Structure 1
């Protein structure tokens, strides 16, 4: 005789209770689906709206800017500005030095002035070679060379004066931050202007025989 396995008796389930349990589970699943759908719609709405808002609640329309890119652009602009300032400062300083150099040349004389003077002397000798009075020889050989030298030196002095004035008035065309100018540059420019003024005055006096007059020939005596 085979032994039988004891079984635990189960309580019978009523038909009505099974239907209630199924209906309750369906209601729970439906509620969970609605909750999930509502959270999904809320998340989608938040992602579509701007996240940054101002203090008054209005949407912040400012676009995001990369700080690294902004800093790099700023550095490039700053380098260009410093390069322009350095070029302007070097040009002004060079002009001031040129002004002083031209003023010194105007006072000491340039080789071009000597060449012009020698040319005038040669022309005077040619004109008076066939004969001429002493006064004519003085004027043609000596006076014209003298005046030519004064004219050339005066031109150098005038250029030195104009360059020095340009260096001083250049910052007036821009702000000091745009066109910086060192103190020594202004001092050198003032020196160039002073030399230019002195050179112009001396050249004018020499050209018109105001400082030193041309020598005069002795008057011929009646018996000679």
Structure 2
């Protein structure tokens, strides 16, 4: 639409220049004829007048046309920038829009969930410490039930407690990632996996700590 309007404007200006040029050329021819010049001289005077008038006018028209085209291009570019949604601009310029932070958090959540299910070096150290404490307590004597509880029960419960802490951290991180806006699909998938595994690890840890799945062995009466 804008291109057609520009072409029509340029065409009208060209017509005006042509009319002005023809008028000035006719005036020059009449002046030469009144001075008694020959037909050849009259024709030469007419051509010279037309050329001298048309050249600056054509140059000015070309300059004006180029200026109008540049202004139209700038206006179109500005309109395109205005059409872009503010949310898209913020997402493109914001570090969160790239999904790096959310992706890293989702991977951390999945790793914590795996650790909670398989156990950690920290949990092993805590369990060995509880075993050693139980041995010290029962070294001077103690019933079999007390030995089982102090040496083995406390160690198992300590391991379940450590794993439960890791599972809870994994679940919290996964939920936080899922609440973030503008997260990529793969980030959501990893976060969901971390949340599911974290919830499963937390359930197993709670059940083990309270002896819901496996109870401590008992001695015969």
> Normalising TM by the smaller chain, what interval?
0.5 to 0.7
Unaligned runs of 5+ in 2: 1-73, 82-87
Of 121, 132, 143, 1:122 maps to: 132
Unaligned runs of 5+ in 1: 1-66, 172-179, 220-224
Is 1:181–2:189 an aligned residue pair?
A: no
Structure 1 counterpart of 2:148: 138
Of 182, 192, 195, 1:193 maps to: 195
Structure 2 counterpart of 1:162: 172
Task: Provide the C-alpha distance between the structure 2 equivalents of 1:88 and 1:118, rounded to a whole number of angstroms.
Answer: 44
Structure 1 counterpart of 2:39: none
Please report the RMSD computed on the Cα atoms of aligned residues, expressed in angstroms.
Answer: 2.3
Question: What's the TM-score, normalizing by structure 1?
Answer: 0.58
SS at match of 2:127: helix
For each residue in 1:20-66, what CA deviation from the matched residue of structure 2 results, as whole angstroms up to 9, or x when unmatched?
A: xxxxxxxxxxxxxxxxxxxxxxxxxxxxxxxxxxxxxxxxxxxxxxx
Structure 1 counterpart of 2:212: 210
Of 139, 148, 162, 2:158 maps to: 148
Please identify the structure whose Cα radius of gyration is greater: 1
TM-superposed deviation, 1:181: 1.2
Residue correspondence of structure 1 range 59-74 to structure 2 within 5 A: none
SS at match of 2:107: helix
Task: Provide the C-alpha distance between the structure 2 equivalents of 1:168 and 1:158, rounded to a whole number of angstroms.
Answer: 16
Task: Provide the C-alpha distance between the structure 1 equivalents of 2:138 and 2:99, rounded to a whole number of angstroms.
Answer: 55
Of 112, 120, 144, 1:102 maps to: 112
